[in-house]
């Protein structure tokens, strides 16, 4: 996978995982030293396992979209066909909604927030909104999420994220 960011406002904190890359969108208040925690991101993931929200068991799913649509903590829109980097897939919107998560992510406890666990290393707090692109590349799909903490954050990151995705080049090899 390769791409070209359109500006210097993208930040990669950890590029060591082969199945996940997070490009955080910098959030500055305009004051010297005034960089705040990121409120939006572009996330590339290979997801081959999910967490059953009822039992907590790790499951392999052949078709990720219907599984996400049935998840009790996610509102998932109707999928539309999309072509990205020459590959056909699906594009849909997601919103994380829960009063109490079906399966809480323990990694969020030290941050004093409550998150829902969707898949290993994939967890989100309440209110997160995403535009998701699912590309079925081989046995393990590539999932691309444009993420915002609020709808406003998502709206602000959408154009810069689309600019990155226009330059995306994928070398399809099995993970």
Q: What percent of the chain is predicted at pLDDT more than 70?
A: 95
121 domain-assigned: yes
Q: Phi/psi class of residue 108: alpha, beta or left (left: φ > 0; alpha: ψ in -120 to 50)?
A: alpha
Q: How many domains does the chain have?
A: 1
Q: Is the pLDDT of residue 85 over 70?
A: yes
Q: Among 173, 126, 128, 174, which residue's Cα sits nearest to residue 149?
A: 128
Q: What is the pLDDT of residues 27-38, one digit of tens each?
A: 776 777 667 778
> What tens digit of pLDDT does each residue of 112-133 get?
899 999 998 889 999 999 999 9
Work out the pLDDT band at 64, boundaries 50, 70, 90: very high
**What is the tally of helices (H) and strands (E) in the chain?**
2, 12
> Is 171 part of a structural domain of the chain?
no
What CATH number does the domain containing 30 carry? 3.40.1000
Q: Taking the model in full, what pTM does it have?
A: 0.90
**Mean pLDDT to the nearest integer, 60-79:** 95
Structural domain for 104, as ranges: 10-166
Q: Please check whether residue 80 lies inside any domain of the structure.
A: yes
Separation CA 173–CA 175 (nearest Å) = 6
Q: What is the pLDDT of residue 174?
A: 54
pLDDT, residue 94, reads 97
Flag whether 4 is in a domain.
no
Q: Is residue 18 part of a domain?
A: yes
What is the average pLDDT across 125-148?
Answer: 93
Within-domain flag for 106:
yes
- The verdict on residue 1 lying in a domain is no
Is 175 part of a structural domain of the chain? no
């Amino acid at each position: 996978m390769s791409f070209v960011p359109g500006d210097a406002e993208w930040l990669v904190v950890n590029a060591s995982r082969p199945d996940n890359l997070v490009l955080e969108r910098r959030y500055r208040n305009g004051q010297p030293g005034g960089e705040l925690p990121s409120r939006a991101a572009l996330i590339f993931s290979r997801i081959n396992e999910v967490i059953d929200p009822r039992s907590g068991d790790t499951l392999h799913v052949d078709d990720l979209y219907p599984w996400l649509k049935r998840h009790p903590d996610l509102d998932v829109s109707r999928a539309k066909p999309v072509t990205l980097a020459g590959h056909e897939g699906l594009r849909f919107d997601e919103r994380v909604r829960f009063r109490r998560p079906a399966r809480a992510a323990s990694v969020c406890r030290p941050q004093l927030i409550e998150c829902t666990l969707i898949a290993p290393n994939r967890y989100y707090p309440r209110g997160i909104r995403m535009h998701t692109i699912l590309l079925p590349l081989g046995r393990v799909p590539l999932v691309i999420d444009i993420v915002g903490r609020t709808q406003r954050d998502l709206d602000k990151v959408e154009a810069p994220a689309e600019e990155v995705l226009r330059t995306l080049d994928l070398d399809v090899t099995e993970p």
